[in-house]
A = this chain, B = another copy of it.
């Protein structure tokens, strides 16, 4: 499921960029991503402008854990669910 994520070693992290057709869709993504973060207690770095969101999921000391990869999967599923609406 992580095909479009780039995995880096130093520091350990997963990175992916999502693009959006419009700002309302992007805001919806950010809102729901925040809910996922709170539920998992796992907070990626996000940067965004009008039509893009870049996500960096840091592994910190332990490196990339199962939870990191689960978060990546959940963000992909979220992005996909918004695309369908």
Contacts and interface: CB of A to CB of B under 8 A. Distances in A.
A79 B27 CA distance: 19
B46 A48 contact: yes
Interface residues of A, number: 16
Contacts of A44: 49
Chain A interface helix/strand/loop/mixed? mixed
Q: How many copies does the complex hold?
A: 2
Interface stretch (A9-17, A30-38, A63-71): A30-38
A44 to B, nearest CB: 8
A45 B52 CA distance: 10
Given A27-B31, A44-B49, A47-B48, 5 more contacts: A27-B34, A45-B47, A45-B49, A46-B47, A47-B47
